[in-house]
């Protein structure tokens, strides 16, 4: 390829020359493919992709989008799980928005993001025209439960701002960066919708128990004093919450050149305890808060105000 070809080439979600040599690209975990499906027809208008851990939560979110975006469906029509041929994830499309579940933890999310990026590439979308959101739950540090943390950066379990991937026997470090201009707009939307939201770093761990300094797992080789010293050290470095996906989400979207944001509501203050014991109906309302911010942002971008 000569220099002029590389200059004129459209931006791409993928950076893998091997894909162009493949007769067929099977997106196995979401039951789609560039030969079995007309991905351009199905997804070329996508502008937003919303990721969340729970399949049922992202299904409900999709139906909420139908109402909030004034999406018209003909009589007898309903939303369909586009990834229904797989039992790994659910994927719904409402106009220009994809709502997709990612499961729990970095490995599950990583698989999904690879295939969503390839899907959008096959569909002919441009990275500059698409925004990714992760909406979920977390444990807070020094915050009132129900507060939404909009991640200004993601760090790993030892507070480093990159994701390490073992590739060909080597450790490769990928920076975990998020879009600060987008974050600023989301904070403004949160104020408009009267939802308490803060900016802060998010610590992403590979484990729910020991990795997050919990005292209530099956194993614990540290003292309560050790736990508190670590959490306070993290808090002093502007870590506002802890979850299990932001590092992967930030590093992969940054690598792909996509604007992205992570919005997670806090279900408890980890400086006060480890157990999540708030009433179910209260947590249901809290979990709606990141969704409401993202929906309002999308409505603004689509001119639906």
| 130-145 per-position pLDDT tens digit | 999 999 999 999 999 9
pLDDT at 6 over 80: no
CA–CA separation, 63 and 61 (whole Å): 5
Section 217-226 average pLDDT: 97
> What is the pLDDT of the chain when averaged over all its residues?
94
- Bridge partner residues of 98 (DSSP): 49, 93
Across the range 146-165, mean pLDDT stands at 97
Q: Span 145-157, mean pLDDT?
A: 97
Tally Cβ neighbours within 10 Å of residue 194. 7
pLDDT in tens, 190-207: 999 999 999 999 999 999
Contact between 241 and 112 (Cβ < 8 Å): no
Residues 6 or more apart whose Cβ sits within 8 Å of residue 147? 140, 196, 197, 198, 265, 266
Query: In whole angstroms, what is the distance from residue 122 CA to residue 39 CA?
Result: 6
Give the position of tokens 């005292």: 215
Q: How far apart are CA 141 and CA 129, in angstroms?
A: 34
pLDDT over threshold 80, residue 3: no
Average of per-residue pLDDT across 93-110: 97
Question: Do the beta carbons of residue 257 and residue 11 sit within 8 Å?
Answer: yes
Contacts 24+ apart (CB under 8 A), 110-113: 110/248, 110/252, 111/29, 112/29, 112/30, 112/51, 113/248, 113/249, 113/252, 113/253
Kindly indicate the confidence band of residue 5, based on its pLDDT and cuts at 50, 70 and 90: very low
Whole-structure pTM over 0.75, yes or no? yes
Q: Please enumerate in sequence order all residues whose Cβ is within 8 A of that of 83, keeping only pairs 6 or more positions apart, or say none.
A: 29, 30, 31, 32, 89, 90, 91, 100
Out of 15-19, 84-88, 294-298, the most confident range is 294-298
Query: How far apart are the C-alpha atoms of 97 and 94, rounded to whole Å?
Result: 5
Can you tell me the mean pLDDT for 51-71? 95
């Amino acid at each position: 390829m000569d220099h002029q070809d590389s200059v004129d080439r459209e931006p791409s979600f993928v950076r893998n020359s091997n894909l162009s040599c493949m007769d067929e690209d099977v997106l196995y975990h979401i039951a789609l493919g560039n030969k079995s499906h007309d991905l351009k027809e199905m997804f070329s208008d996508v502008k937003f992709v919303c990721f969340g851990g729970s399949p049922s939560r992202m299904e409900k979110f999709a139906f909420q989008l139908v109402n909030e975006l004034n999406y018209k469906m003909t009589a007898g029509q309903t939303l369909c799980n586009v990834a229904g041929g797989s039992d790994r994830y659910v994927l719904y499309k409402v106009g220009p928005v994809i709502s997709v579940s990612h499961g729990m933890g970095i490995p599950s999310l990583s698989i999904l993001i690879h295939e969503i990026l390839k899907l959008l590439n096959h569909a002919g979308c441009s990275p500059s025209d698409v925004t990714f959101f992760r909406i979920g739950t977390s444990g807070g540090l020094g915050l009132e439960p129900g507060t939404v943390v909009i991640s200004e950066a993601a760090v790993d379990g030892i507070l480093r701002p990159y994701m390490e991937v073992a590739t060909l026997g080597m450790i490769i470090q990928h920076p975990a960066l998020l879009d600060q201009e987008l974050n600023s707009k989301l904070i403004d939307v949160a104020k408009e919708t009267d939802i308490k939201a803060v900016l802060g770093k998010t610590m992403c761990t590979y484990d729910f128990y020991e990795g997050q300094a919990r005292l209530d797992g099956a194993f614990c080789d540290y003292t309560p004093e050790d736990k508190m010293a670590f959490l306070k050290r993290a808090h002093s470095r502007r870590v506002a919450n802890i979850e299990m996906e932001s590092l992967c989400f930030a590093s992969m979207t940054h690598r792909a050149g996509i604007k992205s944001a992570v919005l997670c509501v806090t279900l408890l203050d980890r400086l006060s305890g480890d157990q999540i014991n708030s009433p179910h109906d209260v947590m249901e309302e809290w979990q709606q808060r990141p969704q409401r911010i993202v929906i309002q942002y999308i409505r603004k971008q689509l001119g639906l105000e």
